[in-house]
Structure 1
Amino acid sequence: MKKKFRILVATITSLLVALSLTSCGKSQSAAATDGTKKLFTIRMVTQTSFNELNIADELGYFKEQGIKIEYTGVLKPGITEYQLIAQGINDAFVGGHPPNVAQARLAGIKVTAVAPGMVDNPNFPHVRYLVKSDSPIKTLDDINGKKVSISGVAGCTDGYLKYYLLQKGKTDNIKWVTLPNPGQQEQSLTQGLVDVTTSHPPYAGLAVAAGGVRQIGTSWDILHSPGAGLSVRGFSDQFIKDHPDVVKGFTEALYKAHVYINSHQNESKAIIAKWLKLKPEDLSVFWYDEDKTINPEYINKWFDISESIGLWKKGDIKPTDIYTNDYAPK
């Protein structure tokens, strides 16, 4: 089963590298032609995990709003979606949490969230913490001093665990191992290179299906809040100012996708499996916020977490600085 998992990871990685090499750096066209109808092109990163963007695209929800999505390639190590927006390569950010938006704004990149994404759910956890089946690690209380793989420094990768240890009154001395490519974290665990991995959908499901691992906790176990898993989608302030109707259409398409995913999980798995070239039955899914607006309480929760683990000092930026509900579906 480990061999099967490694083969799947290698296949995915090869596909994403090819996409990255052929797609990055394309210039923006104002519109794409679909028969006699002109569609407005929105550029964003190529998706590498379970997401609502590919589903909204596949089901025609963007097209209904006069939008065409152009995928510009996967993120390279050390590069953020916000940097690509600042460089004029992409238009939308679609993979971040509220702390990422706040940090981008603190760095001088004027971006604003306009729509919610997934939220945490006890039955569909945002992050699962996995160890090898024969590991002596039994709970999250045993992770200090261990090697933990993450995809990158963010509120939901290392941040949740730092927050957990802080609440327990423990000093963080985890040995963080950053592995940015999809599937690398889980593969490093099965190979014994790390002790614990932080795993997101769909790779959490893929790793469990391949065997040899077990779960010691989830993000819900730590935070007990839907809002602590909230992701957000948005644009630069200039894009929002220049194209308000496009932004409204974008939020409408995402809302429809969220409702569809929660009520059609098997069909949604099949769509994402096709995009990622995986088997639907191996995938785990996110649970999506069906509110049309971004919940202020969820943003405040993220700020509490972020400030407690030192991502920024209280007062450096306000929760209301990073999002707007002015373009939410009516």
Structure 2
Amino acid sequence: MLNKISLFIFMTFSLCQLGIAQQSHVLIDRWNEYIKTKTTDEAKAFIEPANFGSIYGFVQPGSELVNNMKPLSEEIYGHSGRIFLKIYDFKIWIAFKQHNENWMMTMDENELLEHLTSNWIKTQVGSVTYVSSSPLSKETLKEAELFTLENDRLSKEFGIKLNDFKYYYAKLGEEAENIVGEVDKGAGKARFRAIKAVETVNHVHELAHIYAYEFGNGNPFIDEGVATCFGNKNMTKKAKKAQAVLNLIENNGYEKYLNPPTFVEANMQRKDVYALAQLTLKYWKDKYGMAKIKSLITIQKNSEIDILKYIEDHFEKREITNSALREILKNNIERATIK
């Protein structure tokens, strides 16, 4: 009898292990199938429709960026999961959600993050729910209160009110890498009403992303331009930075970086594309107003639209923008040099 029970336990354990083994590479297998796609219609079967423009732009099959990505491992929690990839010296992860029998890439990481932080502490500050592995200090809570003021400012700027969203506060080290996918203090990322940041509770750049995502997401040059325009100080104020951005414009103009893989790769190579994006979006906002900017971030979620053509049809020709940006940068360099 004992031998039969032992055999039953062994067989059950073996079958469980087999089941795990069969499921252990489902996301990596899904990724490997995705990168074989040749058309946008084929790619749409692998990405949530609402997120298609943004994700496809970042990991477009056949692009040099994707060709350098190597899948490392995966994790699955119920109907949510993530795949870890290595690109150059960076380790990134992409979230997945299960729809019926298929796993789809998504920017909605909320279910995944809730699982990863199920035992963390929740602290309400204004309309923001902070989620942290240990209590926030008094100094940190004061900084969090300043964040509520920034939230009010952006609410007026974008003309919408966010009822609530979660802010994941991760500590430096393994916790930061696991939750945020970053290891530097102050680093952060934002996805639909969820901010992830490393040891900071006042990340206005990511807050601007949250507001922009309410309208649409797609092109990283536009998205980062909006986030830096509303969430960062002037990045081209100093002569050295202004000159670096001027050099980017001289090399095929701002429009070169409207190509998503080109923008992402340039950023990974430490080129000043964020500063260029900030300058461009601020110039358009000052000249055409906030309503036009909102229309731009709304339209970009449609991946079928040629974003450069849309800009030239609804804002101005690329030559006019590039000429204006050169003038701004040269003035910045001159002022900084005189000082």
- Fold match (TM-score > 0.5): no
TM-score normalised according to structure 2 size? 0.26
Q: Which has the larger radius of gyration?
A: 2
TM-score normalised according to structure 1 size? 0.27
Structure number with the bigger relative contact order (C-alpha 8 A, sep ≥ 6) is 1
More helix by share: 2
